[in-house]
Amino acid sequence: MAIFKVESQLREDIGKGASRRLRHAGLVPVVLYGGDREPRNLSLNHNQVLKLVEDEAFFSSIIEFSADGGKKQKVVLKDMQRHPAKPVVMHMDFMRVDDKHEIVMNVPLHFEGGEESPAGKSSRVMLDYQANEVEISCFPKDLPEFITVDVSTFDAGDNLHLSDLKLPEGVTLTAFTHGDNEAHDTVIVSTSIIGQTAEPEEGADEPAAEEGGEEEA
């Protein structure tokens, strides 16, 4: 697992006006919460943040976090707001974690073997990836950066459901903790035949022929 180290600065000003001033100064407003401690208002260097978020693993890793050179804490990124039109991170929320409590995280899916699969080699079959991440629960030590999904044997008509995922030890899917597992067992990967049209049912009425001309007077 990649190790990310983040150094933040304490801030006293809060509110929309304070956040705007921080952004103009090249900083990102941050809130750190969780555990048995009060939430803290912090800021991060925006250039540092842009480098961190380029790595997909940053979103599903335990992060070593400190404020003003203080004691390091284990945290995870729980929320991040981006500007809708500019490469700007507007706000971030981090949550403290500890080894004794499970955490709930969204983890990306990495699909492997699609191009080598019978479906991938066929010009008539399309692989449809219907999810790119799943929500899991685990202890911090068991948090995976991603979950691998092998589709190298997929052919026309094959599907893969949530329950088919091979999870690392200590990891559970939160979708199956709410009861009625069958209802939550969504399709993750499906296949379809390109250009396939439904065959007419046997015995179906033929369309009526057009009348040849006007009736005689």
Q: How far apart are CA 9 and CA 23, in angstroms?
A: 14
Dihedrals phi, psi of 152, to nearest 5 degrees? -70, -20
Read off the pLDDT band of 214 (50, 70, 90): very low
Task: Return the CATH number at 128.
Answer: 2.170.120.20
The verdict on 180 and 121 lying in the same domain is: yes
Q: Is the pLDDT of residue 157 over 80?
A: yes
The verdict on 36 and 112 lying in the same domain is: no
Total domains present in the chain: 2
The verdict on 8 and 89 lying in the same domain is: yes
The verdict on 146 and 184 lying in the same domain is: yes
% of the chain surpassing 70 pLDDT: 87
pLDDT score recorded for residue 210? 47
Judge whether 156 lies within some domain.
Answer: yes
The verdict on 130 and 91 lying in the same domain is: no
pLDDT score recorded for residue 33? 95
Tens-digit pLDDT profile for residues 84-120: 999 999 999 999 999 999 999 999 999 999 999 999 9
Token match 């304070």: residue? 18
Q: Could you list the residue range(s) of the whole structural domain that residue 20 is in? A: 4-96
Token match 């990836």: residue? 129
- How large is the average pLDDT for residues 18-38? 92
